[in-house]
Amino acid sequence: MKKVIVLLFLILGATSLSYSQELKTLVSGKWFVDSMKIGNEKFEFSDDKNWLELSPDGRYQIMMSNKEDSGTWKLIADTNELEFDDKSFEENLKIEKISETILLVSARNKETIYTMWLKK
């Protein structure tokens, strides 16, 4: 019985690590801001001048409204959040939806909810 429990924990641990690595690989890359919603107001971005690039090594670059910034990021797999150094984002970005071409993230600041749709 002990061996079964130990084996079960090893399998769960490996599955969790594999999911975390897979999610980080999926998140990494250059994402273009398609639209953003701040509270009830939605903003569309038809050009590819606003983007977020997440490198697998934990570095990021962001271009928003002709302002470029860079720093470090990490994935918190337990909560599906992207954590950034405090230069560009005050709050963690919650991954609401992700695929190979779409990333939907949100953050909350007091009573305002921020939602950002990105595409590759």
Dihedral angle over CA of 16, 21, 23, 26, nearest 10: -160
pLDDT score, position 7: 38
CATH assignment of the domain containing 58? 2.40.128.280
Distance CA 119, CA 78 (A): 24
pLDDT score, position 6: 42
Higher pLDDT, 89 or 84: 84
State pLDDT tens for residues 95-112: 999 999 999 999 988 889
pLDDT score, position 76: 92
Domain count, the chain: 1
State pLDDT tens for residues 26-71: 899 999 999 999 999 999 998 889 999 999 999 999 999 899 999 9
For residue 17, what are the domain limits?
2-119
pLDDT score, position 10: 38
Distance CA 103, CA 120 (A): 8
